[in-house]
Amino acid sequence: MRSQSLILACLIFGLCLPNNINCGNILVWHTEASHWINLKPVLETLVERGHHVTVLVPSSTLFMDVSEPAPYHYETFKVSLTKSDVENAMNKFLHFTIIQNFLFYMFQDVMAMYMWKRFDKYYSDYLGRPTSFCEMMGKADIWLIRTYWDFEYPRPFLPNFKYVGGIHCRPAKPLPKDIEEFVESSGDDGVVVFSLGSMIRNMTKARANVIASALGQIPQKVLWRYSGEKPETLAPNTRLYDWIPQNDLLGHPKTKAFITHGGTNGIYEAIYHGVPMVGIPMFGDQPDNMVHMKSKGAAVIMDFNSMETKDLVDGLKAVINDPSYKENAMRLSRIHHDRPVHPRDEAVFWIEFVMRHKGAKHLRVQAHNLTWYQYHSLDVFAFLLAIIALVLFMFYKILKSCVVRCCFRSRSKSKKE
């Protein structure tokens, strides 16, 4: 009886610790801006499951606050650049991409190749052998893609690509008192939420006045996240905020539309809550993101540099008054929510999967191990061309031999006659 009680106690103790059996140490390379927002809930869940998580943070980071309370451990390392250097470079980059948007997209591949060559040299010098940034990236066992089929177009993909878009999305929480009062004062007209993301804090006075004038011509109240100088054309229905609880506002029943720069996180919060969008893409993946939303009937797109007041007014009226935009946004929302597991839990599962199996080599294609000429099938083409050349050569020789013989016989016959 005593031994049975001991076995039962051990069994209960074991069942109480299921998450700590396969726990391990996880080292996280730093990431910035919206990527960090996606990563944080995954890291928090990993810690809850018993893993020890250490996040490497450069001393020049702009978006990662090592002083904030966190269940994981920050490890800061010094870099040659200061925060001011990074911020200045970021501002110059944003200015160039916004003002010269066409040129940016024309030359972004050239810029990427230039940057990658610098990474190639760094990795080669550090490892002491010729290598490349692409080679290092290709060694990843699992790729967690922060989109889903509510956003993506159907296409084939590799087995180690896992779509986990919407990791950061959550139900709306109650709004702060002052914001709630402003939202409720909108009546049946509702509100419009306007944010160009955390990286766009300012704009030219002329652009700000064009936008403010347009916002003043709609009956809805507008909450605009903007840290620049107050526009001269700002109307009474519009309020400026340094920060807004974006997810909670998008989940509010009075929200009619979302003016967004087209960042992945903002788009997914709008999809999660079923809110149609007016897109003003700036740089990077934002124009492509908004094209996805427009093709799915949930958004219209404006050009930041060329749009006039009337263009923005017409776009807002379209997504607010045309019921098809709201219907399509709600359809995407239903697709997003109809999943077998929450995207955060799916991301955690695949991270632990890699840990349990010491990698996921069985999911990686052999294309990573091919040489450049094998990858592009140049060896196959060369072989086929050689066969074709050989057949043509043999055909030429046979044809030449036949022609020579026919001519020789014809001449011999004429001489005999």
What pLDDT digit, counting tens, does each position of 227-244 carry?
888 999 999 999 999 999
Contact 60, 85 (CB under 8 A): yes
Structural domain contains residue 67: yes
Distance, CA of 172 to CA of 245 (rounded, Å): 9
> 17 falls in which pLDDT band (50, 70, 90)?
very low
- Model pLDDT, residue 34: 77
Q: Is the dihedral of CA 152, 155, 157, 159 positive or negative?
A: positive
Residues 65 and 203 in one domain: no
Structural domain contains residue 379: no
Residues 74 and 201 in one domain: no
pLDDT digits (tens, 9 = 90+) for 5-15: 433 333 333 33
Distance, CA of 295 to CA of 285 (rounded, Å): 16
Averaged pLDDT, 322-329 = 96
Angstrom distances, CA of residue 31 to CA of 40, 318, 334 = 10, 37, 30
Residues 327 and 183 in one domain: yes
Residues 196 and 332 in one domain: yes
The gap from C-alpha 278 to its chain's centroid, in whole angstroms, comes to 19
Both tokens of 192, joined, read: 């419009």
CATH code for the domain of 239: 3.40.50.2000
Of the three residues 79, 109, 125, the one that is the final residue of a domain is: 79
User: Residue 401: CB partners within 8 Å, gap ≥ 6?
Assistant: none
Structural domain contains residue 243: yes
Structural domain contains residue 60: yes
Query: How many domains does the chain contain in total?
Result: 2
Of the three residues 286, 317, 337, the one that is the final residue of a domain is: 337
Averaged pLDDT, 195-218 = 86
Structural domain contains residue 220: yes
Structural domain contains residue 108: no
User: Residue 348: CB partners within 8 Å, gap ≥ 6?
Assistant: 42, 45, 46, 49
Give the range of the structural domain holding residue 313, as residue numbers without chain letter.
177-337
pTM, whole model, 2 decimals?
A: 0.81
- In the block, residue with structure tokens 């990474």: 119
pLDDT digits (tens, 9 = 90+) for 244-283: 999 999 999 999 999 999 999 999 999 999 999 999 998 7
Distance, CA of 414 to CA of 81 (rounded, Å): 93
β-strand partners of 77: 58
Structural domain contains residue 380: no
Amino acid identity for residue 118 in this structure: R
Residues 182 and 71 in one domain: no
Of the three residues 337, 356, 381, the one that is the final residue of a domain is: 337
pLDDT digits (tens, 9 = 90+) for 326-366: 999 999 999 999 999 999 999 999 999 999 998 888 888 88
Structural domain contains residue 4: no
